[in-house]
Structure 1
Amino acid sequence: MTGGANRQVLFGRTGLRVGRLAVGTVNFGGRTEEPDARRILDVALAHGLNLVDTADMYGWRVHRGYTEELLGRWLSGSPRRRDDVIVATKVGEQMGDGPNDCGLSAHHIIRSCEASLRRLGTDRIDLYQMHRYDPDVSWEVVWQAMDQLISQGKVRCVGSSNFAGWNIADAQHAARGRGLAGLVSEQCVYNLLTRQPELEILPAAQAHGLAVMVWAPLHGGLLSGALRKAREGTAAKSAQGRAASALLENQAAVERYEQFCGDLGRNPAEVGLAWVLSRPGVTVPVVGPRTEGQLESALRALDTGLSAGELDELDKIFPPHGRGGPAPRAWID
């Protein structure tokens, strides 16, 4: 397991090398207490998972910003840790009650970056991601703010999250007009149930040289054995939110999937993550472990290869859109 987990990949065109999985921190605060979160982070880093993904609003179950504060305390626990870890956070979500406490205005970007730096206890953010596209702000304004932060050394690289393919293209066009590198990554939801990124987001990212981070690779736990856990009374995350609502529409497919994994003798969570890892254009799935056991399962997925026949069977259970592949070939003869 350790050898697989130590594999490194290039992060787009940045020259950075990162572990094949990123550690997502959305559960740190409210679901995973700080001592457990610290142990998860320690184990992940020991296995070469050096990219840690958070957001300024994470930890909202305690208070917005709590997760960055937790990470700051963890980062300060070792002299080398800050240099060993690639810190990724996000900006754009609601952080207060004021009219300018969200979005991608220069006002909010710069204030939010400074606040994230204070909470993280660091002098720079390695990857500063726009949490979602803001239609009310021009790219000229966004890139002016990001350029200022980069020039000041507060931000090393800029990424996007939840962008459409055309958002990526627009952002890159505007950035290059200013002589900037622009986006280096896109973080999108992508899994066996959510295959829309294959149409335009993944092709756009590849065309512009972006790394692709994948959030919800198990669709909020739905692909981790949700039906079995429900029968056993052990369902937690998979019994609520995204997973619970999707199960209503996809129960037959999920039943086939769990039977397929059972026939293989493999954990559904490891199979679902192995599928994402196999996809062209995907750089780093973001796993959000609540427990060390969930992290260990994710690490095993690095060595859970899927054969061509197994991938074909998964396509039958969860078909791609149209004829598969990028638009417009997916629906044109």
Structure 2
Amino acid sequence: MNHTHLGRSGLKVSRLCLGTMNFGPRTQEADAHRILDEAREAGINFIDTANAYGGEERRGWTEEIIGRWFAKGGGRREDTVLASKVYGTMAPTPNYSGLSALNIRRALDASLHRLRTDHLDLYQFHHVDRGTPWDEIWQAVDVAVQQGKIIYSGSSNFAGWHISAAQEAAARRPVTGLVSEQSLYNLFERSIEREVIPAAQHYGVGILPWSPLHGGLLGGVLAKNHDGVRSVEGRAAQALEKSRDAIAAFETFAADRGETPAEIALAWLLHQPAVTAPIVGPRTSEQLTAALKALDVTLDAVALARLDEIFPGPKTAPEDYAW
């Protein structure tokens, strides 16, 4: 397993990040613990979760599952770069959502309790909070850092100008600011190349792509449908009907190379200079094993150019829409 720095920080993380959103609602605890152990054995030291994971009726469930895995000992917590998130609604009363100083303090302590740890290596803002000023957010983070409860901060689902606003506010204090940004990013959905990635590169923020297979769309969907396996749902199912020719070309490209579409999709992200680590969210051990194979895939300039032809991305702003 190769490791790299998380953004401009000195923290070293594995080139794949283990996403845990399926733990609880889709993956039973025993299976989740097995996946966590297998990921650790493979060299993945980066685990991502969120306080809201677990489903509408049981938010926090996923963190609890991870906490019980840490409680098994054997260096599990010590060897892990642990990331969680704050923003989502955790109770039907005011001040249990968003990024207010009160909610950051309350949500952080609750996450630490569920995760059975005394600190988070990376605490991420799950969404921009347009109602809370950055001075308040950074003040709350600064207090948590001084208390030893947070080491690094990151964002998720931010626009380019949100990253800029956060970093400029952090520089005025001064505090470290963001070191990472989680964004929807894959071969099919490349919108962040317009402004988010340039902003992230300018400020030394590492990109952590979520949904690297776009809900299964880049995982061999046509072949699976042909075999009678239902493999996509939601937005991916709608996109399939609009982009069937491109997806067919992509699957042919992978087959001609003797690799799976999923391996190519993950490998493409690993070849993007702004990307620190794609977030893979396996429901089973087999899916984790398949994701690990992408680490051995090399795409040369010709292959990358062909993928750009199949799934063209935008130019950076303003060239994407102006001279």
Q: TM over 0.5, yes or no?
A: yes
Q: Could you tell me whether the CA contact under 8 Å between 2:215 and 2:232 is conserved in 1?
A: no
Q: Could you tell me whether the CA contact under 8 Å between 1:261 and 1:271 is conserved in 2?
A: yes
The whole-number CA distance in structure 1 between the counterparts of 2:141 and 2:234 is: 33
Q: TM-score, normalised by structure 1?
A: 0.94
RMSD of Structure 2 on Structure 1 (CA): 1.3
Q: Could you tell me whether the CA contact under 8 Å between 1:30 and 1:61 is conserved in 2?
A: no
The whole-number CA distance in structure 2 between the counterparts of 1:78 and 1:318 is: 45
- Choose which of 292, 296, 318 in structure 2 pairs with 1:299: 292
Identity %: 50
Q: Residue 222 of structure 1: SS of its match in structure 2?
A: coil
The whole-number CA distance in structure 1 between the counterparts of 2:94 and 2:247 is: 42
Q: Which amino acid aligns with 1:294?
A: Q
The equivalent of 2:126 in structure 1 is 131
The equivalent of 2:318 in structure 1 is 328
The equivalent of 2:80 in structure 1 is 85
Q: Could you tell me whether the CA contact under 8 Å between 1:261 and 1:267 is conserved in 2?
A: yes
Matches within 5 A, 1:239-278: 239-278=232-271
Q: TM-score, normalised by structure 2?
A: 0.97
Kindly state the Cα deviation for residue 306 of structure 1 after the two structures are TM-superposed.
Answer: 1.3
- Choose which of 296, 305, 310 in structure 1 pairs with 2:303: 310
Q: Residue 115 of structure 1: SS of its match in structure 2?
A: helix
1:97 and 2:92 matched: yes
Kindly state the Cα deviation for residue 153 of structure 1 after the two structures are TM-superposed.
Answer: 0.8
1:17 and 2:7 matched: no
The whole-number CA distance in structure 1 between the counterparts of 2:56 and 2:232 is: 18
Kindly state the Cα deviation for residue 241 of structure 1 after the two structures are TM-superposed.
Answer: 2.1
The equivalent of 1:149 in structure 2 is 144
- Choose which of 216, 220, 225 in structure 2 pairs with 1:225: 220
1:192-246 Cα distance to aligned partner (Å, 9 max, x none): 11111111111111111112111111111110011211221223xx321232132
The equivalent of 2:206 in structure 1 is 211
Q: Could you tell me whether the CA contact under 8 Å between 1:127 and 1:157 is conserved in 2?
A: yes
1:166-208 Cα distance to aligned partner (Å, 9 max, x none): 1011001111111111111111110011111111111111111
Deviates more, 1:149-158 or 1:59-68: 59-68
Q: Which amino acid aligns with 1:159?
A: G
1:291-315 Cα distance to aligned partner (Å, 9 max, x none): 1111111111001111211111111
Q: Which amino acid aligns with 2:318?
A: P
Q: Which amino acid aligns with 1:254?
A: I
The equivalent of 1:3 in structure 2 is none
The whole-number CA distance in structure 1 between the counterparts of 2:108 and 2:5 is: 25
The equivalent of 2:112 in structure 1 is 117
Q: Residue 78 of structure 2: SS of its match in structure 1?
A: helix
Kindly state the Cα deviation for residue 142 of structure 1 after the two structures are TM-superposed.
Answer: 0.8
Q: How many residues align?
A: 323
The whole-number CA distance in structure 2 between the counterparts of 1:242 and 1:299 is: 26
Q: Residue 239 of structure 1: SS of its match in structure 2?
A: coil
- Choose which of 19, 29, 35 in structure 2 pairs with 1:34: 29
1:98-156 Cα distance to aligned partner (Å, 9 max, x none): 12221111111111001000100100011000001011111111111111111111111
Q: Residue 233 of structure 1: SS of its match in structure 2?
A: coil
Q: Could you tell me whether the CA contact under 8 Å between 2:4 and 2:13 is conserved in 1?
A: yes
Q: Could you tell me whether the CA contact under 8 Å between 2:214 and 2:236 is conserved in 1?
A: yes
Q: Could you tell me whether the CA contact under 8 Å between 1:24 and 1:287 is conserved in 2?
A: yes
Q: Could you tell me whether the CA contact under 8 Å between 1:30 and 1:62 is conserved in 2?
A: no
Q: Could you tell me whether the CA contact under 8 Å between 1:25 and 1:67 is conserved in 2?
A: yes
